[in-house]
């Protein structure tokens, strides 16, 4: 399928995208940021102080009910710095985390090679974190981390009871509990809880500005005030205290206003879509999505299915899904579906029909 990705990108440029968000251009994005900055009288930050960054940190800390928030250029830097700070306090470099965590799959061994962390498995595979899982990790821990949701497992979330029991067990044991909450904005409707209620279960939480919120880049960590000071030091050591983060901060402020209250409706639509896909023989995981992002499965090979998806996009002017990849089960393929505003404007039954036609059902 050497030419399929290029054909797909070319077809996408003039087609209607259903999933994720409609593609934009740099000029359109910068124009929107400029208009927002002018309307809200945004001021520059300097090296992460004052201006838009301070405003964003204050808003996010208030939303999540934490004393402080620290902005970082990236989530990778934010989480590694946070775990190292907790480990330094705890006197142990051992961190318990899911074996499907972003830190293990996409950061080129950075937590170990850059910050000297020793990583242990809190969960393996499509397993949700529990107090029992923490108890199975013996010895002294510097920190424990959960990913909410576990993205590579189909955006899988634990139950609220599992989270509260895990939080209590970590506090009783004296283990700082950190949450990778990159998609926490999208997760709280699953539990019918507020952001502050979710964050209260954790000693610290990372949130993303560009995933659900649709910003340009950037991340924050909400945490106690004294830890915030340590995080600012680690940000400087890791080269993250750059001259200005105003552009990313403005994107985050925009996203909070435009998208934060939409995720419940997006999740409800995704649940309807999953049910409609099942009627066409396309399976999903979870069977009932926990958030507006989930995995879809169909029989076939990646080359065969992607050829049909690209041809459908070229002929119909509709992007019915992203490209598919071979699944762990031979003879099946999988793709990730993210249902935001572009999707919700359609009837989920129609979208399921387009997907089924595109993959060959």
Residue where a domain stops, chosen among 236, 258, 280: 258
Q: Is residue 30 part of a domain?
A: no
Residue where a domain stops, chosen among 222, 241, 258: 258
pLDDT, tens digit, 9 for 90 and up, residues 69-80:
999 999 999 999
pLDDT, tens digit, 9 for 90 and up, residues 12-46:
989 999 999 887 899 999 999 999 999 999 999 99
pLDDT, tens digit, 9 for 90 and up, residues 128-178:
999 999 999 999 999 999 999 999 999 999 999 999 999 999 999 999 999
Q: Is residue 244 part of a domain?
A: yes
Q: Is residue 271 part of a domain?
A: yes
Residue with tokens 């992002």: 293
CATH number at residue 309: 3.90.1150.10
pLDDT at 1: 46
- Asked whether residue 161 falls in the same domain as residue 104, the answer is yes
- Asked whether residue 233 falls in the same domain as residue 309, the answer is no
pLDDT at 23: 79
Q: Is residue 35 part of a domain?
A: no
Instruction: Determine the length of the chain.
Output: 361
Q: Give CA–CA dist 41/29, Å, rounded.
A: 18
- Asked whether residue 249 falls in the same domain as residue 272, the answer is no
CATH number at residue 147: 3.40.640.10
Give the chain's largest Cα–Cα span. 60
- Asked whether residue 92 falls in the same domain as residue 16, the answer is no
Q: Is residue 33 part of a domain?
A: no
Q: Give CA–CA dist 361/359, Å, rounded.
A: 6
Q: Is residue 267 part of a domain?
A: yes
- Asked whether residue 9 falls in the same domain as residue 45, the answer is no
Q: Is residue 29 part of a domain?
A: no
Q: Answer whether 245's CB lies under 8 Å from 229's CB.
A: no
| Burial readout 119-140 (b: 16 or more C-beta within 10 A, e: otherwise) | bbbbbeeebbbbbebbeebeee
Residue where a domain stops, chosen among 238, 258, 278: 258
Share of the chain above pLDDT 90, in %: 97
- Asked whether residue 10 falls in the same domain as residue 97, the answer is no
Q: What is the mean pLDDT of residues 326-343?
A: 96
- Asked whether residue 284 falls in the same domain as residue 172, the answer is no
pLDDT at 361: 79
| Domain that includes residue 294, residue range | 4-24+262-359
Q: Give CA–CA dist 103/115, Å, rounded.
A: 12
Q: Is residue 95 part of a domain?
A: yes
- Asked whether residue 117 falls in the same domain as residue 69, the answer is yes
Q: What is the mean pLDDT of residues 331-336?
A: 97
| Residue 149 preceded by cis peptide, ω within 30 | yes
pLDDT, tens digit, 9 for 90 and up, residues 267-324:
999 999 999 999 999 999 999 999 999 999 999 999 999 999 999 999 999 999 999 9
Band of residue 2 on the pLDDT scale cut at 50, 70, 90: low
SS (H, E, C) the chain: CCCHHHHHHHHHCCCEECCECCCCCHHHHHHHHHHHHHHCCCCCCECCECHHHHHHHHHHHHHHCCCEEEEECCHHHHHHHHHHHHHHHHCCCEEEECCCCHHHHCCCCHHHHCCCCEEEECCCCCCCCCHHHHHCCCCCCCEEEEECCEHHHCCECCCHHHHHHHHHHHHHHCCCEEEECCCHHHHHHHHCCCHHHHHCCCCEEEEECCCCCCCCCCEEEEECHHHHHHHHHHHHHCCCCCCCCHHHHHHHHHHHHHHCCCHHHHHHHHHHHHHHHHHCCCEEECCCCCCCEEEEEEECCHHHHHHHHHHHHHHHCEECCCCCEECCCCCEEEEEEEECHHHHCCCHHHHHHHHHHHHCC
> Could you tell me the CA-to-CA distances from 180 to 53, 149, 198, 276, 307 in Å, in that order?
21, 8, 12, 31, 36
Please count the structural domains in the chain.
Answer: 2
- Asked whether residue 93 falls in the same domain as residue 201, the answer is yes
What is the residue-averaged pLDDT of the chain?
Answer: 96
- Asked whether residue 253 falls in the same domain as residue 190, the answer is yes
Q: Give CA–CA dist 319/105, Å, rounded.
A: 28
- Asked whether residue 89 falls in the same domain as residue 16, the answer is no
Residue with tokens 């590579």: 152
- Asked whether residue 211 falls in the same domain as residue 352, the answer is no
Residue with tokens 């923490």: 134
């Amino acid at each position: 399928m050497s030419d399929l990705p290029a054909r797909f990108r070319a077809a996408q440029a003039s087609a209607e995208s259903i999933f994720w968000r409609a593609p934009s251009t740099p000029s359109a994005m910068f124009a929107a940021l400029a208009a927002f900055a002018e309307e809200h009288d945004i001021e520059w930050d300097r090296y992460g102080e004052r201006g838009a960054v301070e405003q964003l940190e204050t808003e996010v800390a208030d939303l999540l009910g934490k004393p402080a928030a620290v902005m970082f250029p990236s989530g990778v830097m934010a989480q590694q710095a946070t775990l190292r700070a907790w480990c330094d306090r705890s006197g142990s470099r051992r961190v318990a985390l899911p074996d499907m965590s972003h830190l293990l799959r996409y950061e080129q061994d950075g937590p170990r090679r850059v910050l000297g962390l020793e990583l242990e498995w809190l969960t393996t595979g499509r397993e949700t974190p529990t107090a029992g899982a923490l108890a199975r990790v013996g010895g002294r821990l510097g920190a424990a981390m959960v990913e909410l949701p576990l993205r590579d497992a189909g955006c899988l979330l634990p139950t609220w009871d599992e989270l509260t029991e895990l939080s209590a067990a970590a506090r009783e044991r004296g283990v700082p509990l950190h949450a990778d909450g990159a998609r926490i904005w999208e997760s709280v409707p699953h539990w019918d809880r507020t952001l502050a209620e979710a964050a209260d279960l954790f000693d610290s939480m990372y949130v993303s500005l560009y995933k659900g919120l649709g910003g340009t880049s950037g991340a924050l960590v909400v945490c106690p005030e004294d830890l915030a000071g340590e995080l600012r030091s680690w940000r400087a050591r890791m080269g993250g205290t750059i001259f200005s983060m105003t552009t990313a901060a403005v994107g985050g402020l925009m996203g909070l206003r435009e998208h934060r209250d939409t995720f419940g409706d997006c999740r409800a639509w995704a649940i309807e879509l999953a049910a409609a896909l099942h009627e066409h023989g396309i399976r999903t995981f979870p069977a009932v999505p926990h958030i507006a992002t989930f995995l879809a499965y169909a029989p076939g090979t990646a080359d065969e299915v992607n050829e049909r998806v690209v041809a459908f996009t070229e002929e119909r002017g509709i992007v019915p899904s992203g490209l598919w990849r071979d699944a762990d089960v031979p003879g099946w393929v999988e793709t990730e579906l993210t249902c935001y505003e572009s999707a919700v404007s359609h009837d989920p039954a129609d979208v399921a029909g387009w997907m089924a036609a595109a993959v060959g059902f």
